[in-house]
Structure 1
């Protein structure tokens, strides 16, 4: 008889976790006799019984005792990990009406969601996204990189687009639960990271241009390697003089979904010429450096690190903010270009 493992208990972040019934059923169906979700309270301990030999062959680490922070990893060639979509196990959904009150969120099996053709996000682009990562340490524990900053940035963007937004606490909790539910997809140390994509969309149906009557907050995750194919090697940027990413008074300083479709044409043209990405100039004078399609930019000369001033057309990057703080602590001078 196959040994069964009782899942639940305390996650690497110190939070208790119990999946939704749908998520539990999906995991049970996928794992067969090797796993089952306990209906006991979330504080229940995790069984340390090893998996059967057949399962151990499929998962190299499966024969080791299961301990908090060191879950079995999915059977995957981590050395070949790039930056493309790899479906994982679960995603997080939380819904809200126009009154701004969110329902209790839940983990569900990863997959398509149902949207009305008249949804505001499909017709008018009323939607925001975020991006952050989870990293695995040598001891198996998992770290998130400044998720509170992403939560605050989403709230600022939601205010600009007349959308209710999750509280910082709701956002961070959703991210943590989603990472925990997919922790077997967090790459080993040095092999990559788990990319986390929170989204807030106007999912309610509406005909005219107006705020949607309902909203959906989604979090899904995906293991990734480096964003650029050459990893941490230097990249080549093409200065774009025809197209602009943002204009004064627009939405360049929030992470709205509409900001990204517009860069695809210039980005494709740059890649056809052998460059990795596009460096955008300001839309007024067409000569001042602003940012790249997917990130902020810094210039380093001697002991001075410079970056463009945030004037409403540049996304206030969390990495940007972190680099400025770290550079100052290391004795570099930080210059904000006017």
Structure 2
């Protein structure tokens, strides 16, 4: 096993030995291969550089108690990548190719999959970019699909410790734009508001809907959820929100606990409806929200220092499935 202090990992780039790369040219993908080279060489006219023709995914590999390794719902990541690709006129990556490539990368870097019980995971970053000689505003002549990986700890410092967020005056995405696609432009536009939030000692921003600025959409690069005082699990619904695999998993798991699971409007002036709240996503998993600063008002949910009992219960169930300690719904756990 490699010499890494697993319990001290943050969410940072670490070069691992192998990554997968495949090229699309003349209307088809090549077979793809593993490589030790963590750099790519592309033409200066590549559309990913000038016109943002690129998308990506994020998922994790989990070391089980028996030493084997699980992926969590990789078919959903494949489907979402292809939805993003469709929005940007890029070629589809077949699901079988996508999942096989993931397994190749995990197996090749197996010693970097953190041990069971550390809470750390192997983060996988698939990406698809338009490349080749081009300068006009039209789809690229060639494409690269690649996957690299690294061991990571919690995305938000403190892990399951509640943190505070601030409502941003900026918009994350335009109405009927690319908000539902996992494209780099959405994240580039979030850098300034995120920086300003950090300067004010908040974990990140709360983004409101771009049309009315009355409804919560996303929490930084994660999805929002709230637990109402009458046992409802509610998460925002909007065509501008990235369809989070973690969010949709939590919607299903909430029903197991007898909760009413709702995807609907979450009005920023109705925060009193919620006993608990959190941010969720592949990187964040679940991060409890202690409070939200909205203008001059600061709203506290369950606690600024303790995780609410329902949020904790959902986290335990979700991670229990991901690490193979508990049986999940059919198809959620894929052994590498």
What TM-score comes out, normalization by structure 1 length? 0.76
The runs of 5 or more residues in structure 1 that have no matched partner are 1-72
- Which of 176, 182, 195 is the equivalent residue of 2:103? 176
- Which of 112, 134, 140 is the equivalent residue of 1:212? 140
Alignment of 1:44-83 (within 5 A): 73-83=1-11
Offset, 1:203: 1.6
Offset, 1:165: 1.8
* Contact 1:87 1:110 (8 Å CA) reproduced: no
- Which of 39, 50, 53 is the equivalent residue of 1:126? 53
What residue in structure 2 maps to residue 333 of structure 1?
A: 260
CA distance in 2, matches of 1:288, 1:234: 22
What residue in structure 1 maps to residue 128 of structure 2?
A: 200
What residue in structure 2 maps to residue 294 of structure 1?
A: 221
1:69-109 Cα shifts (integer Å, max 9, x gaps): xxxx211111211111111000000110252x110010000
CA distance in 1, matches of 2:248, 2:130: 29
Matched, 1:84 2:12: yes
What residue in structure 2 maps to residue 163 of structure 1?
A: 90
What TM-score comes out, normalization by structure 2 length? 0.77
Offset, 1:113: 0.8
CA distance in 1, matches of 2:262, 2:20: 40
1:42-81 Cα shifts (integer Å, max 9, x gaps): xxxxxxxxxxxxxxxxxxxxxxxxxxxxxxx211111211
What residue in structure 1 maps to residue 172 of structure 2?
A: 245
What residue in structure 1 maps to residue 243 of structure 2?
A: 316
The runs of 5 or more residues in structure 2 that have no matched partner are 266-336
Matched, 1:94 2:26: no
- Which of 93, 115, 123 is the equivalent residue of 1:188? 115
- Which of 205, 219, 235 is the equivalent residue of 1:278? 205
What residue in structure 2 maps to residue 13 of structure 1?
A: none
Larger radius of gyration: 1
Instruction: Give the number of equivalent residue pairs.
Output: 263
CA RMSD of aligned residues (A): 1.0
Offset, 1:223: 0.3
Offset, 1:139: 1.4
CA distance in 1, matches of 2:142, 2:14: 29
CA distance in 2, matches of 1:232, 1:110: 35
Offset, 1:205: 2.1
CA distance in 2, matches of 1:194, 1:131: 11
CA distance in 2, matches of 1:238, 1:287: 14
* Contact 1:196 1:219 (8 Å CA) reproduced: yes
* Contact 2:61 2:72 (8 Å CA) reproduced: yes
- Which of 226, 229, 232 is the equivalent residue of 1:304? 232
CA distance in 2, matches of 1:223, 1:190: 14
CA distance in 2, matches of 1:188, 1:291: 32
Q: Which has the higher contact order (CA 8 A, sep 6+)?
A: 2
1:240-274 Cα shifts (integer Å, max 9, x gaps): 12x10012210000101111111010001101111
CA distance in 2, matches of 1:292, 1:240: 10
* Contact 2:23 2:143 (8 Å CA) reproduced: yes
CA distance in 2, matches of 1:228, 1:82: 9
1:294-328 Cα shifts (integer Å, max 9, x gaps): 1110011131111111x320000000110001111
What residue in structure 2 maps to residue 225 of structure 1?
A: 153
